[in-house]
């Protein structure tokens, strides 16, 4: 899960960069090939977010790309303190452990383009991951964020620890 969480952090930072200017986030399926190369596909099915996410979830589950690790990144909402908050959702898989599933959410608020706030990421799911070190996985997520030059700069500038 270490490599998968690193990939998740990198593309979460890419997503934060994308939403920072007020544009809608196009769902992304990203994976690491067996040779270690990062690949990414934007998913647009009939201009419909729900269909695009469902298509991405099917790709993530099937591993048709024969990847070692994969993530699906999309815009969603999560509950925090009795209210719904916008969040970048990242579904994470490490394919050598087929039953292992994790989901991270990066809550954010965008008052206007350029007025972004990024809140502390939340681990929403950690299923069948007993063989993995959760602390090291989360650390790897942040290392992935830092590896995305533009996304990390925007993320760090907009960081708000209030939630």
Tally of domains in the chain: 1
Residue 70 lies in a domain: yes
Residue 46 lies in a domain: yes
Residue 163 lies in a domain: no
Residue 20 lies in a domain: yes
The model's pTM = 0.92
Tokens of residue 148, six digits? 């995305």
Q: pLDDT for 20-76, tens place per residue? A: 988 889 999 999 887 888 999 999 999 888 999 999 999 999 988 889 899 999 999
Residue 58, CA distances (Å) to 21, 61, 76, 77, 133 in order: 29, 5, 17, 20, 27
Residue 32 lies in a domain: yes
Q: pLDDT for 130-157, tens place per residue? A: 777 788 888 999 999 999 999 999 999 9
Domain that holds residue 82: 2-158
At residue 125, φ and ψ (nearest 5 deg) are -145, 140
Whether 105 contacts 124, CB under 8 Å = yes
């Amino acid at each position: 899960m270490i490599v998968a969480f690193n990939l998740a952090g990198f593309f979460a930072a890419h997503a934060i960069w994308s939403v920072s200017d007020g544009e809608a986030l196009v769902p992304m399926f990203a994976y690491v090939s067996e040779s270690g190369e990062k690949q990414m596909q934007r998913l647009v099915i009939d201009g419909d977010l729900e269909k695009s996410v469902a298509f991405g979830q099917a790709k993530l589950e099937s591993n048709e790309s024969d990847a070692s690790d994969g993530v699906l990144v999309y815009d969603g909402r999560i509950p925090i303190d009795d209210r719904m908050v916008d969040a970048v959702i990242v579904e994470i898989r490490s394919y050598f452990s087929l039953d292992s599933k994790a989901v991270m959410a990066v809550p954010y608020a965008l008052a206007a383009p350029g007025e972004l706030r990024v809140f502390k990421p939340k681990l929403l799911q950690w299923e069948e991951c007993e063989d993995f070190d959760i602390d090291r996985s989360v650390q790897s997520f942040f290392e992935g964020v830092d590896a995305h030059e533009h996304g990390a700069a925007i993320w760090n500038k907009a960081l708000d620890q209030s939630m």
